[in-house]
Amino acid sequence: MGDERYDFVVASNRLPVDRVVDDTGASSWRPSPGGLVTALEPIMREADGAWVGWVGQPDLELEPFDWDGIRIVPLKLTEHDLENYYEGFANDTLWPLYHDVIAPPSYHRVWWDSYVSVNQRFANAIAAVSAPDATVWVQDYQLQLVPRMLRQARPDLTIGFFNHIPFPAYGIFSQLPWRAQIIEGLLGADVIGFQRVADAGNFSRAVRRLLGYATKSPVIEVPSHGRAPARRVIAKPFPISIDVDTFERLARSPEVQARAAQIRHDLGDPKTIMLGVDRLDYTKGIGHRLKAYGELLHEGRLKVEDVTLVQVASPSRERVETYRQLRDEIEQTVGRINGDYGTISHQAVSYLHHGFPREEMAALYLAADVMLVTALRDGMNLVAKEYVAARFDDDGVLVLSEFTGASDELRTALLINPHDIEGVKDAIMRAIEMPRAERVKRMRAMRKRVRENDVNRWSEGFLRTLAEARRRSGERSSD
């Protein structure tokens, strides 16, 4: 692996770059779509940073390499790891559990064993590339055991952890057979970041209930264990965001605006275009949205000549059974709505089972009069923030589930409870009929908020808290 050591190391299940192989078999790397790369890229370059993660394909062993000024340290996951650690424990145990058991979580000991083993390999790889006293930032629920494993191997490191998804209430979390190990794993970090105030509160409560440690928000007192000294851990919210400037610049470009006009035209210039953009995941409430829309068409409150719903559903975790079932259900519902209400010239739902580049997304946001975010539970929902960032014209209405982290900030969206189908229907009608003056007022307030709290603020805020926590713990240990 070479002897290079880095002062700032980020670790995430997936690397920030995707490996693409062209027709000739030649491979290259392109940034993966998430906002995390954009957020951390400048810091990584400045701080001599390395990024440890999986390359996205099984059984692929690659040497570390430099990509755009960042050291990429690929970690191999075998087919067995994928089935048990990733598809199993991460996405069929933790994912449904942390999203309020919308789907039933499965508990399998072999999955847990694999989770432990992959987390240990991540910790070993991070320890191997971290310079003395380096700062390490571990991302998300796939790697919750890494902070403790890393602290045991390298007590000199400053360790941060950020949970991108919700952290559930204790009544739900306590189902997990390995609940204490997860909490202990996370407490290896100096700072644990969450999306919402409620997530941080749920975590602190789990610490009190399971381990009996004293907590006084945001501080958790971890007592000494054997030779490990007593420590203070900070657990608090740092709501994540997007790179607002880049997104707005993209939306303002003449090419994207022309593309938005083309999309409207291709859809038959309906009075209203509604848009949903989601990974095809059962947490996103796509079925609830379709049900509300179908009923509005059925009741004649909406006419297919006047409105089109564009639903982008990007493929996700397709080997996990719950995701397969969801795809069948959604596609059956879309087919039924189109069959019942579509005409030769007007489709009720334009359903796209692909991911799209950012330019196309920006054009879709500009073309959409109404954006529907109906997640049943979502850590943040960056799509809501992207829509707002793209609307430099101050127009467009966001219908937003109150079960998303984004709803804490975007208070002038039309907030809905997605389980309340009548409420969703009324919100859709209100969005469609809203006078321009009200649309502008609401959108301006949201744009101000998104601008103030962009992704740089998120990463700077987290890393500042991490540096302070470490300085304070240094002062305490030298007392």
Q: Which residues are catalytic?
A: 164, 378
**Nearer residue to ligand F6P within complex by CB, 14 or 249:** 14
375 three-state secondary structure: coil
Contacting ligand F6P (CB under 6 A), which of 231, 317, 447, 470?
A: 317
375 binds ligand F6P (CB under 6 A): no
Closest approach of Cβ 188 to ligand F6P, in Å? 19
Token code pair at residue 205: 């409560």
316 binds ligand F6P (CB under 6 A): yes
**Cβ-count burial of 415 within 10 angstroms (0-12 exposed, 13-18 middle, 19+ buried)?**
middle
Closest approach of Cβ 150 to ligand F6P, in Å? 19
**Nearer residue to ligand F6P within complex by CB, 13 or 407:** 13
**Nearer residue to ligand F6P within complex by CB, 15 or 123:** 15
Q: Which residues contact 338 (CB under 8 A, 6 or more apart)?
A: 347, 348, 349
Beta bridge partners of 73: 52
Closest approach of Cβ 334 to ligand F6P, in Å? 22
**Cβ-count burial of 161 within 10 angstroms (0-12 exposed, 13-18 middle, 19+ buried)?**
buried
Site size with ligand F6P, rule: CB under 6 A: 8
Beta bridge partners of 370: 274, 397
Helix runs in 146-225, H state only = 146-153, 170-173, 179-186, 197-211
Closest approach of Cβ 34 to ligand F6P, in Å? 6
**Nearer residue to ligand F6P within complex by CB, 78 or 257:** 78
Closest approach of Cβ 463 to ligand F6P, in Å? 19
165 binds ligand F6P (CB under 6 A): yes
> Alpha-carbon distance 231 to 384, whole Å?
38
314 binds ligand F6P (CB under 6 A): no
Q: Using an 8 Å Cβ cutoff, are 401 and 373 in contact?
A: yes
**Nearer residue to ligand F6P within complex by CB, 165 or 307:** 165
38 binds ligand F6P (CB under 6 A): no
By CB under 6 A, the residues from 320 to 359 that bind ligand F6P are none
Closest approach of Cβ 172 to ligand F6P, in Å? 18
140 binds ligand F6P (CB under 6 A): yes
31 binds ligand F6P (CB under 6 A): no
Of all helices (H) and strands (E), which one includes residue 351?
strand 349-352
Pick the closest to residue 399 from 353, 446, 361, 366 (CA basis). 446
Q: Which residues contact 146 (CB under 8 A, 6 or more apart)?
A: 11, 119, 122, 123, 126, 138, 161, 185, 188
**Nearer residue to ligand F6P within complex by CB, 8 or 86:** 86
Closest approach of Cβ 215 to ligand F6P, in Å? 26
Q: Which residues contact 216 (CB under 8 A, 6 or more apart)?
A: none
Token code pair at residue 322: 């719950």
Tell me which residue has its CB nearest to ligand F6P.
164
Pick the closest to residue 384 from 462, 442, 315, 326 (CA basis). 442
By CB under 6 A, the residues from 104 to 123 that bind ligand F6P are none
In the shown chain, the binding pattern of residues 68 to 97 toward ligand F6P, with x for contact by CB under 6 A and - for none, equals ------------------------------
Helix runs in 391-420, H state only = none
Closest approach of Cβ 322 to ligand F6P, in Å? 13
15 binds ligand F6P (CB under 6 A): no
14 binds ligand F6P (CB under 6 A): yes
> Alpha-carbon distance 11 to 135, whole Å?
11
**Nearer residue to ligand F6P within complex by CB, 121 or 164:** 164
157 binds ligand F6P (CB under 6 A): no
34 binds ligand F6P (CB under 6 A): yes
In the shown chain, the binding pattern of residues 407 to 446 toward ligand F6P, with x for contact by CB under 6 A and - for none, equals ----------------------------------------
> Alpha-carbon distance 307 to 272, whole Å?
5
Question: How many CA atoms are closer than 13 Å to the CA of 152, on its beta-carbon side?
Answer: 13
**Nearer residue to ligand F6P within complex by CB, 242 or 349:** 242
In the shown chain, the binding pattern of residues 267 to 306 toward ligand F6P, with x for contact by CB under 6 A and - for none, equals ----------------------------------------
**Nearer residue to ligand F6P within complex by CB, 172 or 440:** 172
Contacting ligand F6P (CB under 6 A), which of 121, 148, 151, 164?
A: 164
Which strands sit side by side in the sheet containing 370-373, from one edge to the other? 349-352, 307-314, 272-279, 370-373, 397-401, 414-416
What is the Cα 178 distance to its own chain's centre?
Answer: 24
Q: What angle (nearest 5°) sits at the alpha carbon of residue 141, between those of residues 140 and 146?
A: 80
Closest approach of Cβ 257 to ligand F6P, in Å? 29
Which residues lie near ligand F6P (CB under 6 A)? 13-14, 34, 140, 164-165, 316-317
